[in-house]
Structures are given as C-alpha cells and as structure tokens.
Amino acid sequence: MRKKASRTVLLLDLAHARSGDKGDTANVGLIALKPAYYPHLVKHVTAARVARHFRGLITGKVERYELPNLNALNFLLHGALDGGGTVSLKTDAQGKVLSTALLRMEIAAPR
Amino acid sequence: MRAAGRPVRIAAGQGFWGDWLEAPYRQVTGGPIDYLMMDYLAEVTMSILQKQKSRDPASGYAKDFVPQMERILPLLVERRVKVTANAGGVNPRACAQAVAAAARQLGLGGKLRIGVVTGDDLLPRLDGLLARGHDLKNLDTGRPLREIRDRVLAANAYLGAAPLVEALRQGADIVITGRVTDTGLTLAPMVHAFGWRADDWDKLAAGTVAGHTIECGAQCSGGNCSVDWQRIPDLANVGYPIVEAHADGGFEITKHPDTGGRISVAGVTEQLVYEMGDPTTYITPDCVADFTTIRLTQAGKDRVRFAGIKGRPATDKLKVSLAYFYGYKAVGTLVYAWPDAYRKAQTADRVLRRRLQDLRLTFDAIHTEFVGADATHGSLATRATRFADLPEVQLRVAVRSREAGPVERFTREIAPLILNGPPSVTGFAGGRPKPEEIVAYWPALIDKDVVEPCVELVDV
C-alpha cells in the first residue's frame, strides 16, 4: 500500500469507483475492494469529508447514500459539472473521471 | 420457441448511439439468445433528431439502426430472436418503414412483424398541456417552462415497458420505440415471457435492475471497469452482457463463451452505482426499485447472480425530457512543449483573456483547462504533481454565450497566439475552432394519465 504519512492511505488502495451524471450533479459510486474495508469507508469517507476534498471544484452540497449490500457508498456532488451535459465547457462534462478524483483522498489506514 | 422453465436470454446489443457496430451481430451469432436489446437515446439525442426531422420528414431516427438490422435480419428470423430498440427517436414510424423496406429487399416478406411504439412525443401537444396547467417545471431549478417555451426543440415523455409488452403480445418480432426508458427495453421481454402483473413490484424491480445493469452494454462486462483493469482479458474481443431471467424475478448476468472481458461481482457493482441517485428509490414508469436490496453472488466464471430485489409501486408521474436552444460555445486548443510547457500555456491563457477583455467581449463563462495537468482533477492534481518537467501541456479554452457574435470572435483569437504568444507551440492543424449551438436539457415531470402510448404493427 502507498503509505502517505505514517497512518494514512489513499482511498485508491481501499476502494474502486465509477461516476456519472444527472444534469449538473455528478454521482460517484465508491466500492470497497474488500468487504472488511466497508465499515472503515462508512466511518471515514463522510459527506462532509468529500465536500472538503472537492472544495473549489464543485459549487453545491454533497449527499451520501449507503449500500451495505454492495459494500458501496454513493455520493452526489451537486454543481460539479459547469451546468452539465451540452452546456458544460469542461472536458469531463459528464463527470466520468470524478471517480478517480475521489480516489485521491487520503484517509486513516485501516487496522 | 423457448421451452417452459428455461430462462429468457436478453442480450445487450448497443449501449448508446455510437456504440460498437459489431456488437449486435456478435450477440446474435455468439450463442443462443431470445431477445436483442438496443439502446440508442441519450438525453440530447432527441433534439438532434427533431432538427433532422424538421428538415426531412422521413428522418428523425437513429440512422445506424437500419444497416445494423439489415446485417442481422435473416439471422433474427432464422433463430427467432426478437428485438427491442428505442432507435425510433422522434420518428419511429419512419424507422419501422426503413427496416421493413430492408427486410423486403432481403426476401423476408411475410416473415416479420414490426411493432411501433409512439405517444412519447409531446412537442405537438406542448401548448395545450401548458394551457391546461401542466407547467413542466425544471426538476433541478424549479423554473416554469414558460420562460423558455419559444426555444423548445424537443419534448418527450419517458414511456415504460407496458407498450412494448403490448407490441410483443400482438406478435411483434421487432419493437421500435421513441423515448422509452433504457430499463423498459429489457424489462418488457420478461413481463411478456413470464406474464408478470402490473403490480408484481418486486419482479418489475428485478427486471428494472437487470435493465440498468446491461443498458450501457459492455460497461458491466469488463469495459470501463476500474477494478483490476490491467488483467481484464481480451477487451478487443469483449463480450456484451446477456441477462438470463427467471420467472420468479431472479436473474444472472453472463456473456457468450469465447469472448473477452469479465463479469464479476466487483465489475457489475460498478455498473449498478453508475448514474445512481438515491439507491432506495430508483424511479421508472414501471416501478420504484430499491438497489439496497440487491444481493450479488459469483455463480460461475463470467456469471453473476442477482437475488432479493424489492420494488415499490410506480408513481403517478412520468419524466419528461425537454431540449431547448441555449446559445453558443466554442473550444480552442494549442499544445505547448517542454521546457516550461505548463508555464507557457498559463501565459498564453493570460494573454488570450486580456485580448478578449480589450475587445470588450463578454461571455456567460470562460473556462480554461491545462490538459496534461489539471483538466480532469483540477486543483486536486496540481497540488500533488510537479510540473517543471512535463513534456507538453495542451491549453484548452472554452467560451459560452447566448449570442453568436462574441463566440465567433473568440474563435479568431486562438491562431494568432501561435506567432504572437509564448514559444514552442504546436497542434493547431485542425484550424480555427467552430462555434457550436448549445441545445440544453430541461427535465420535468408530467401526470401519467395525460400521456397515451400507442402501439401499431407493420407486417413486412
């Protein structure tokens, strides 16, 4: 694992993700690489923490939904896509790679 | 015909208009299937098609569908494979006529019945609906449609599985629709084959989840899959997904033997969370599916089993997708080379913005990206990366305006930078950027009972 500081890891080492769009809102589905990581993600990857991670990159709030059956969390990032769809001027107008942007987050390492 | 008790096999042939042309043929020839499901319509597709239809009344559907069908029609007839496709766009009847003509050319006269589903197109009824108090408020912003009424280019209600089921019941071999939900194209064959009732909410939810899983084609069978991506085998030969559905609502996702890609719990989960909102409340015209009830197990190599899916009653609304003219945009790019590629691109951006300002051009938005540095992850990337040694950076500047004039003038300000801006610049062979019309999306809801789906049959 990529140890960033002594006791943190990149989310990339604990989860995989896929993202998509609904208008100006992007969703990022975050899935634990092992079921044992899921409670750790629930505890550490909160909506507030994700909002902090994307500060300056999105204009709206962040919502989180839990899917314990899939060991997954679903985040809605509002105002992430410069209007979204055809209006957006961004390369990633549909938020397709915001998934990997989330995986850059550093969180406490699981024990 | 399908033997009683055998699962119904529904194969995904297209995940969007522009998907792999080989996929439908491979799905029909790679092994036994009962249905081929082809999804063509993205949110903005309808406005493009509406524009085409206004120029030529015989167009307005997904043109690629006809040659694709031409290639597989004899096989479909021989193997009794049926098709559900929303390729009809804003002109399903013309699409059906084109397919019928192709079938006759192939000598299939008398052997094929095409079902046509219409009733989704609300554009001709729009003023009447508004007058009767359906204000079609924007679901995201809450604004009434009146504000942009004169700029509306397309208005389509999302129909569910029901009219497709009716077409299948009347013996259609190919069902061509306008704006039908992606999930409805997969759910309809199940409802038809198993005789599910309109209030079998758990089963309808299961069929809806199956539809969501395969609606993006190979995106659930190894394509665009981030987990273990380097070891996903043979993507060149990727197998598109197939649902094997059972009467009790259980189903498995698999693919044809001897194809590439991978069907795993992890990969399928990625597709399940794709474009997800509140996972407990996935609303379609047919039911409300609860994605937090799905239980997945790896049932074999390239085979994932779904069980436990719960659904709730459908709402009394349908979603309406409207498209309207918004304005103009243009994107200009230049590539800067080492040394100091990033700094040169940043300098060029400053020079360009200053010139736009000096020309007193105003835009709704100017957006700059440095491709190779921050285009995809923004400041999350620039905090983490060293830039001094980047071999190249692409400057990408985009503008948006309600007016054509400023956008047009912007497109003439990119090329001059080649000779009068920072050095070591290339990548302008494409010439001056072209202003593009922006057709924007307006989601709304409408009472279900004012939309009347209609089924017609065309015997070839």
Q: ω into residue B57 within 30 of 0, thus cis?
A: no
Please tell me the predicted confidence (pLDDT) of residue B43.
75
Query: Least CA distance to A64: which residue of chain B?
Result: B278
Name the phi and psi angles at B410, rounded to 5.
-55, -40
Query: Which strand (E) or helix (H) includes residue B113?
Result: strand B113-118
**CA–CA dist B331, B418 (Å, integer):** 16
Tell me the per-residue pLDDT of B428-443, one tens digit each, with 9 for 90 and over.
877 899 999 999 999 9
Under DSSP, the state recorded for B48 is: H
Helix (H, G, I), strand (E, B) or coil at A34: coil
B 369-398 residues with CB < 8 A to A: 369, 371, 375-381, 384, 396, 398
B348: its two tokens: 């060029």
Which residue in A58, A52, A48, A68 sits closest to A19, CA to CA?
A: A58
Q: State mean pLDDT over B149-169.
A: 97
Which position has the token pair 């008398």?
B110
**What integer best gives the mean pLDDT of chain A?**
94
**What integer best gives the mean pLDDT of chain B?**
96
Measured at the CA of B441, the angle between CA A72 and CA B331, to 5 degrees, comes to 95
Name the phi and psi angles at A25, rounded to 5.
-105, 130
A24, A54, A70: residue with CB nearest B296: A70
Which position has the token pair 């249905």?
B35
Q: Which amino acid is at B130?
A: L
Which residue in A20, A29, A17 sits closest to A81, CA to CA?
A: A20
Which domains can be identified in chain B, with CATH numbers? 8-120+158-315 (no CATH), 323-440 (3.30.70)
Which residue in B294, B341, B330, B236 sits closest to B26, CA to CA?
A: B236
> Does any CB of chain B come closer than 8 Å to the CB of residue A86?
yes
A39 CB-near residues (< 8 Å, 6+ apart): none
CA distances to B21, B27, B222, B255, B396 from B237, in Å:
13, 12, 11, 12, 34
Please tell me the predicted confidence (pLDDT) of residue B382.
86
B251: its two tokens: 């189903």
Q: Please indicate whether, in this complex, the C-beta atoms of B277 and A97 are within 8 angstroms of each other.
A: no
Tell me the per-residue pLDDT of A77-102, one tens digit each, with 9 for 90 and over.
999 999 988 899 999 999 999 999 99
Cβ contact B332:B410 at 8 Å:
yes
| Confidence band of A34 (pLDDT split at 50, 70, 90) | very high
Name the phi and psi angles at B27, rounded to 5.
-70, -35
Percent of chain A predicted with pLDDT > 90 = 88
Residues in chain B: 460
Burial class (CB in 10 A: 0-12, 13-18, 19+), A2: exposed
> Does any CB of chain A come closer than 8 Å to the CB of residue B271?
yes
Q: Which residues of B touch A86 (CB under 8 A)?
A: 44, 326, 438-441
**CA–CA dist B88, B60 (Å, integer):** 8
Buried b / exposed e along B74-89 (16+ C-beta atoms within 10 A):
eebbeeebbbbbbbbb
Percent of chain B predicted with pLDDT > 90 = 93
Q: State mean pLDDT over B126-135.
A: 96
> Does any CB of chain A come closer than 8 Å to the CB of residue B402?
no
Q: Flag whether pLDDT at B278 surpasses 60.
A: yes
Name the phi and psi angles at B374, rounded to 5.
-135, 5
Q: Flag whether pLDDT at A3 surpasses 70.
A: no
Cβ contact B418:B331 at 8 Å:
no
**CA–CA dist B287, B185 (Å, integer):** 14
Cβ contact B46:B35 at 8 Å:
no
Tell me the per-residue pLDDT of B287-346, one tens digit each, with 9 for 90 and over.
999 999 999 999 999 999 999 999 999 999 999 999 999 999 999 999 999 999 999 999
Tell me the per-residue pLDDT of B4-45, one tens digit each, with 9 for 90 and over.
689 999 999 999 999 999 999 999 999 999 999 999 998 778
Write the ipTM.
0.94
Cβ contact B427:B121 at 8 Å:
no
Q: Flag whether pLDDT at B1 surpasses 70.
A: no
Complete DSSP assignment for B217-266: GGGGTTTT--TTGGG---GGGBPPPEEEE-TTS-EEEE--TT-BS---HH
**CA–CA dist B409, B400 (Å, integer):** 12
Please tell me the predicted confidence (pLDDT) of residue A1.
60
Q: Which residues of A touch B376 (CB under 8 A)?
A: 91-92, 97, 100-101
Helix (H, G, I), strand (E, B) or coil at B211: helix
Please tell me the predicted confidence (pLDDT) of residue B2.
63
Q: Which residues of A touch B367 (CB under 8 A)?
A: 82, 89-90
**CA–CA dist B322, B138 (Å, integer):** 9
Which domains can be identified in chain A, with CATH numbers? 8-108 (3.30.70)
